[in-house]
Structure 1
Amino acid sequence: MTRPRFNPSPCKGSDATTLQFDQTSLSWTPIVSCPADFPPELFELAVSQLTHHPEYNSTLILRSEVIEESAEVFPVSVPLLRGLRPVRNTHRRLLPRRPTRDSGLEQHCTLYAPSHPSGPDAFHPTVLVLTPILPSDGSLPYYYPTVTHLAFRIIPPTSSESAVLRMEALPLPGTPLDQGGRLYRTCLSLLETLHRYGWGTLTHYKKRVLHDVLLPRETYQDLYLIMRERYKHLIDDWHEVTDPLKHVFEDIGIATFLMLLWKDTYGPETIPPLPVDSTGLANEPSRHWPRPPGGFVDLGCGNGLLTHILVSEGYAGHGFDLRSRTSWAHYPPATQSRLLRNGADDGQTTATTARTLLPADCFLIGNHADELTPWVPLLATRVRASGYLSIPCCAWGLDARFDRARDVPRCDVDAETLNLGAGGEGAWSSYALYRAWLASLSVHCGWAVEVEMLRIPSTRNWAIVGRKRVGSSEEADDNVEELIEGVRKRGQFKTRRPEGKAGGDH
């Protein structure tokens, strides 16, 4: 079914259906309304998304945390409404995305149902009121509208009129109420979200993509905020021609994900002792977290930023690429020593070079590694890596561009179970097919595949993770050798030449 068009109308004034306080003469102000294309009994499910995920409607909010929920005790600040009774209150805390600029805010989210039930829908909540708990200075954060209360409503249908969704408010004095004002625009956005959630609930909408599969969202976000503050200065120190905002925050996000992934993957025996000059470092929790026993290897590390962040956080490892970048010379000596210039061939790397670049028990990182992307699981198997992370970008096969007709899956993978973001006839994009092919290649190489959609500023934010070996290691080795031998026989593999001046002496 196609979702009905969102058709809002500004409210022209109060009427008999406007909310009324039970013990005060204060008046609610209707702001904006639209047809409700779902029945009242689904209202509670629809607004639960708004209660628990305010960040979906504001880029300035990181998330909310529930402090307390109750269906019996209601704080005195929760309003008493005529003809309605409170049935559940959620005390939540809004966390800002930029805590150094915006403050947090605690809030009561209260559901109301009719006081005198009549009819089949009367026992279902029809109103959600948001009540901010003002801080000691009495000011609301920028991202919150200037209101004492904000209400989401569904007005049940009558014999002559269809059901209506409406936003109402108790504005603070001086708050503009015109359609160009911030309150109206905020209510309009919230109403559209409620309309969408209600229709999704009605049609049993199921997201094809799941976030936070491998790591809890809250854990990731909390560490990301710390990492962002620690490394945001790199934007001003950028020495490449590419966009610093995208690359800096993207690699901070990937580093955050890896640090937490390694913490959950490896045991306490992999925690290294702090160096002698560890003044100030011992208080950093991540210094006491498990990590890859053989260090990390950033394949095709490019500008070296991800390697730099991980090295700065005390992780052993290195990155290598076909050529050095301008940025490399501007990193501290500890990072410069971990950035190596080297190429990769079709599996015939000498044993000495392989041991240097790809030591046993290392964790391989393929971050938009282009031609190296499909080789990541093969290399991980061949060098006995302890795991890998691959973030595919451009679609490459083992020796040529990925061809959906030629590069058939090596084994069956369940797109829905693996969270590959595709499924159903006609729903597979080229990029989704490539992800499925990479997943099948990983399984063929003896890895249990996990998939996560990373919270990074990139449209290519799918991560394929291998942390555990499955099946026979002998069979996996044979499969890898068979793939490499096929590449040799076809004779199409060509090592990429470095761009720019570095291409002449490679």
Structure 2
Amino acid sequence: MSTNTARPRFSPSPCVIGDTRDRLALESRNNDWMPIIQCPADFPPQVFDVAVSQLIHHPEYNSTLILRSETLVDTSSDFPASIPHFDGFRPVRNIHRRLLPRRPGRDAGLEQHCTLYAPTNGDDDSPIVLVLTPIPEAGASLPYYHPTVHHLAFRYIVAETPLLRIELVPLAGTPTDLNSRIYRTCLALLDTLHRYGWGAVTNYKKRILHDRVIAREEYQDLYLVMRERHRHLVNTWQEVTDPLKHVFEDIGIATFLVLLWKHTFGSQSYACTSSNASEDPECEPWRSWPRPPAGFLDLGCGNGLLTHILTTEGYDGHGIDVRARTSWSHYPESTQARLHVESLDPSGPIVEHPFLRHGVFIIANHADELTPWTPVLSTLVSASGYLSIPCCTWAFDAKYERTNTPDYPTPNDNFIDGLNLGGDGSNASSYSRYRIWLASLSLHCGWQVECEALRIPSTRNWAIIGRRRTTQDTEELEEIRRRVEDIVVHVRERGLFKTRTPEGKAKDH
């Protein structure tokens, strides 16, 4: 079936309270199941297993309060005694998972059984029922993000007009009317299941994939720590911009960089000493993790927050920008010493630059006209790598225009498919074409191209990463350097590149 086939209209309807038709018939008299809501099932029963697997393994898609789930036990036998038993159905699989909250200081975690059932008649183990059974700790209440139920079931009802239905066993005193919170939750869950099922039928594939470079679990766990350590910056924000967006965005980028460096420079280690330890009594593990051999350089560092977070956490580096921001003077002196007013001319001599040196890692976060220069500079100074998050579409000395900007060759269509560009796949937008141009330029500069959709609160979250050279052969590297130098010479000959004039006294921060 074509992936462009429109999803059938989601047409939910509340179940009639007291209607016993097609209800789950429990063996236990202590559980009184209540049908809540249903809709036509626009996919065959064979797809139910694929559809509910998304519900099981990605609960964070349905609640912003959930970080993720972790599978503790996955079994097709020895089912726990706490799961319900039904007439006409048999358990075929049980996934014991733990739900992790996005804000552990506010919400508690919760373990849960996710049990799949197939019809008793026949030997086909294809499930058509999923039951979620929370396992609260003794005396504890369910966390806010979980419905107030003993059990919640998703059913595929095989009939002349197949149905999807949600039924549940509510906790005592739980309202279930059409205006209740639990009804709204079930409506949203049914819509999700309907969408997942149709996606499975049409072989839907996400066009934007996260966690291609750094594992989701590793990133999220460290991000929670970094968020707690730096969230106070929201209350001391000195800029006119939105502090919630900028603070948490830069915390996310810093978290990604710390983990990227850990995995990239794994042969190095740094001892945790009293001179680099924080005020906490125990040394944070990242302080002994590998890092760029010559530190980092944050090009166009703006408010300096990313530089501040990284240096606070013990990483050596500097940030440069054409003007000092209000925030700079409010950072501690240790951060102020790493922020510099400077106007970088990438088309001029850079041999003597104090920060652009062999082994440096270059960061270009919305670096505007310096964005395309990032892989060029990284090659010329033999950098240890770079991370670029492009925003405005700049070529070397003018705005990027597909019609008058020289293209660099791409190996094949697979190269473009691997860039994780998102959208409808046509890559027709100017921003998509720009990102393809940046990736092909990076390859032209001798860098293996990696792309990541960062988990940050920004629509411009696409990152291109260079941390490995395409070759280690000396002659080939020299040839790459010569063609990169040709780019600089060509820009210089055109004479169009204009270096911004520093605002304020240079080197005063």
Fold in common (TM above 0.5): yes
Instruction: Give the unaligned 5+ runs of structure 2.
Output: none
- Matched AA of 2:218: T
Per-residue CA deviation, residues 44-80 of structure 1 (Å, 9 max, x unaligned), is 1110110000001110000000000110111111001
CA displacement at 1:211 relative to structure 2: 0.7
CA displacement at 1:138 relative to structure 2: 3.0
Task: Tell me the equivalent position of 1:146.
Answer: 148
Choose which of 478, 483, 487 in structure 2 pairs with 1:479: 483
TM-score, length-scaled by structure 1 = 0.94
Task: Tell me the equivalent position of 2:200.
Answer: 201
- Alignment CA distance shift 1:224-1:277 (3 Å): closer
Give the 3-state SS of the residue equivalent to 1:187 in structure 2. Answer: helix
Give the 3-state SS of the residue equivalent to 1:357 in structure 2. Answer: coil
Task: Tell me the equivalent position of 1:327.
Answer: 327
- Alignment CA distance shift 1:395-1:281 (3 Å): farther
Task: Tell me the equivalent position of 1:463.
Answer: 463
1:346 touches 1:487 (CA, 8 Å); kept in 2? Answer: no
Task: Tell me the equivalent position of 1:102.
Answer: 107
1:409 touches 1:436 (CA, 8 Å); kept in 2? Answer: no
Per-residue CA deviation, residues 168-191 of structure 1 (Å, 9 max, x unaligned), is 111111111112211011111111
CA distance in 2, matches of 1:449, 1:275: 38
Give the 3-state SS of the residue equivalent to 1:443 in structure 2. Answer: helix
Identity of aligned residues (%): 59
- Alignment CA distance shift 1:297-1:114 (3 Å): same
Per-residue CA deviation, residues 247-299 of structure 1 (Å, 9 max, x unaligned), is 00000000000000000000343535635464647621001100000001000
CA distance in 1, matches of 2:424, 2:167: 40
CA displacement at 1:481 relative to structure 2: 1.2
Give the 3-state SS of the residue equivalent to 2:25 in structure 1. Answer: coil
- Matched AA of 2:143: P
- Alignment CA distance shift 1:345-1:65 (3 Å): same
CA displacement at 1:15 relative to structure 2: 2.4
Give the 3-state SS of the residue equivalent to 1:307 in structure 2. Answer: helix
- Matched AA of 2:421: L
- Matched AA of 1:461: N
Instruction: Give the unaligned 5+ runs of structure 1.
Output: none
CA distance in 2, matches of 1:221, 1:25: 40
CA displacement at 1:497 relative to structure 2: 4.2
Choose which of 398, 401, 404 in structure 1 pairs with 2:402: 404
TM-score, length-scaled by structure 2 = 0.94
Per-residue CA deviation, residues 98-128 of structure 1 (Å, 9 max, x unaligned), is 000000000000000111139xxx6421100
- Within a 5 Å distance, the mapping from 1:244-263 to structure 2 comes to 244-263=243-262
- Within a 5 Å distance, the mapping from 1:65-104 to structure 2 comes to 65-104=70-109
CA distance in 1, matches of 2:305, 2:44: 52
CA distance in 2, matches of 1:399, 1:223: 39
Per-residue CA deviation, residues 207-258 of structure 1 (Å, 9 max, x unaligned), is 1111100111000000000000000000001001100000000000000000
Task: Tell me the equivalent position of 1:183.
Answer: 182
CA displacement at 1:349 relative to structure 2: 3.7
2:262 touches 2:290 (CA, 8 Å); kept in 1? Answer: yes
Task: Tell me the equivalent position of 1:416.
Answer: 417
CA distance in 2, matches of 1:269, 1:170: 55
- Matched AA of 2:307: T
Count of residue pairs brought into register by the alignment: 494
CA displacement at 1:487 relative to structure 2: 1.1
Q: RMSD over aligned Cα, in angstroms? A: 1.9
Give the 3-state SS of the residue equivalent to 1:85 in structure 2. Answer: strand
CA displacement at 1:485 relative to structure 2: 1.5
Give the 3-state SS of the residue equivalent to 1:189 in structure 2. Answer: helix
Give the 3-state SS of the residue equivalent to 1:139 in structure 2. Answer: coil
- Alignment CA distance shift 1:350-1:162 (3 Å): closer
Give the 3-state SS of the residue equivalent to 2:419 in structure 1. Answer: coil
CA displacement at 1:345 relative to structure 2: 1.5
Task: Tell me the equivalent position of 2:452.
Answer: 452
CA displacement at 1:41 relative to structure 2: 0.7
Give the 3-state SS of the residue equivalent to 1:106 in structure 2. Answer: strand
CA distance in 2, matches of 1:502, 1:168: 68
CA distance in 2, matches of 1:390, 1:149: 47
